[in-house]
Amino acid sequence: MFFAPLQKITETDGRSSRKELWYFFALQAAVSFFGQILSALTFEALYFILIIWWAVCFVATITLYIRRAHDLGRSGKYVLLMIIPLVNIWISINLVFFDGEGDNQYGTRPIT
């Protein structure tokens, strides 16, 4: 469950559950936290690896947000609205805290 968004990094079709989103956020936070500590202890030798990790997570997060928008019955273009200040807060709240109901045009409801 933690690595599911990394396995589906190129998939924008289908739906993702809130559980998948929260687990991926936890994985990102843990790797970043311990990576920062290790890079501080090793005089930033691991910092380059962290930059690659963050770039991969950025792409995985965007595709995960698109699948979360599908779960709410919205198009993936809904995620593009996140570039607008203050609107991005509302969209993030919707993607993180609300669940889609039943099956929709993007597929069956994800198993949580």
26 against 40, higher pLDDT: 26
Q: What is the pLDDT of residue 68?
A: 93
In Å, how far are 2, 30, 82, 94, 97 from 89, measured between CA atoms? 24, 23, 8, 9, 12
Q: What is the pLDDT of residue 11?
A: 87
Question: Could you give the CA distance from residue 101 to residue 76 in angstroms, rounded to a whole number?
Answer: 17
Buried b (16+ CB within 10 A) or exposed e, 21-46: bebbeebbeeeeeebeeebeeeeeeb
Structural domain boundaries of the chain?
Answer: 4-97
Question: Could you give the CA distance from residue 40 to residue 10 in angstroms, rounded to a whole number?
Answer: 32
Q: What is the pLDDT of residue 111?
A: 78
Q: What is the pLDDT of residues 83-112, one digit of tens each?
A: 999 999 999 999 999 988 888 898 888 876
Nearest to 99 by CA among 78, 63, 71: 71
Q: What is the pLDDT of residue 1?
A: 66
How many residues comprise the chain? 112
Tell me what percent of the residues of the chain surpass a pLDDT of 90.
Answer: 56
The pTM of this model reads: 0.87
Q: What is the pLDDT of residues 66-87, one digit of tens each?
A: 999 999 999 999 999 999 999 9
What's the token pair of residue 42?
């090793």
Question: How high is the mean pLDDT of the chain?
Answer: 89
